[in-house]
Structure 1
Amino acid sequence: MKSIQAFRLAVGVLIVATSMTAWSQTDQTASTPSTSTMTASGSAASATGRKANRALRRQVYNTIAKHKEISAGNISVAAKDGAVTLNGTVTDASQVDKVADIARSVPGVTSVTNKLSVQKPFGGM
């Protein structure tokens, strides 16, 4: 019984040791400095893009929240590269277009996809 456990342990250690020394196979024989520089700048650019998207999303949401006649609690805002998507519900049909217009007025917004719907009254039709 103990010999089976020892054998399993030895096989597991062998697999781990083999996988740690394995190299990935690529077309390039050696990594060039320009490749690693491009990778580093690409990840920095994506982090900057995410930060800009979050800032734009907050700015749009805060602009919507400033309008007291609109209940912004049921509205979610997503932003990516200037394109804003509005999801959720509003209490009145006239607010659907108004919220989209407010979002378009925010600097940095290039397009607005409006997926807002009118919230039905509780128990009503």
Structure 2
Amino acid sequence: MKRIHAFSVAVAALCAVTCFDVWSQTSEPASASAMAASSPAAPVTGRKANRALRRQVYGAIAKHKEINAGNISVVAKDGAVKLTGTVTDASQVDKVGDITKGVPGVTSVINGLTVEKPLGGM
């Protein structure tokens, strides 16, 4: 009985050690991931970069006083920018898209802007 119990404890310990060892391994060596993270050529991604790009797009649109940026929503993710909201004139839809494409760091633009209807709805 003591042998069976000792054997069970040994097997359980072996399983636990194996599971922790497998769980802690990564697909690449630690030195390679550290080098990739510190490399200046690595592209900046993540929430912070997305927020910075979003602010840059809003800043570029705000430079054009004829466009009301208050009704425009900008969502940026890894260089892709999606515009939604309304503008007062049909010509402004393409203009805002062109302004956004000119911002450094923007790789693509999805322009979902529409023309604001007057209060009468016609």
Deviations 1:9-58 (A, max 9, x none): xxxxxxxxxxxxxxxxxxx61146544x7xxx8xx9xxx51100000001
Q: Structure 2: which amino acid aligns with 1:105?
A: G
Correspondence for 1:66 = 63
Counterpart for residue 102 of structure 2 = 105
User: TM-score with structure 2 length normalisation?
Assistant: 0.67
In structure 2, what residue type is equivalent to 1:119? E
The whole-number CA distance in structure 1 between the counterparts of 2:52 and 2:77 is 10
For structure 1, the 5+ residue unaligned runs are: 1-27
**Matching residue's letter, 1:103:** T
Aligned pair partner of 2:86 in 89, 111, 118: 89
Query: Counterpart of 1:29 in 2: which secondary structure?
Result: helix
Match of 2:20 in 1: 30
Q: CA deviation at 1:113?
A: 0.1
Whole-angstrom CA distance in 2 between matches of 1:56 and 1:62: 10
Give the Cα separation in 2 of the matches to 1:123 and 1:111. Answer: 35
AA aligned to 1:64 is I
Rounded to whole Å, the distance in 2 between the matches of 1:106 and 1:34 is 40
| Residues in 1 aligned to 2:78 and 2:121: alpha-carbon distance in whole angstroms | 39
Alignment of 1:3-42 (within 5 A): 29-31=19-21, 33-35=24-26
Q: SS at 1:68's partner residue?
A: coil
* Identical aligned residues as a percent: 73
Unaligned stretches of 5+ residues in structure 2:
1-17, 38-44
**What is the rounded CA distance, in whole Å, between the counterparts of 1:31 and 1:55 in structure 2?**
39
Q: Give the alignment partner of residue 113 of structure 2, picking from 103, 111, 116.
A: 116
Sort the Cα spacing of 1:50 and 1:31 in 2 relative to 1 into closer, same or farther, 3 A. Answer: farther
Q: Deviations over 1:46-77 (max 9, x none)?
A: xx511000000010011101100101110010
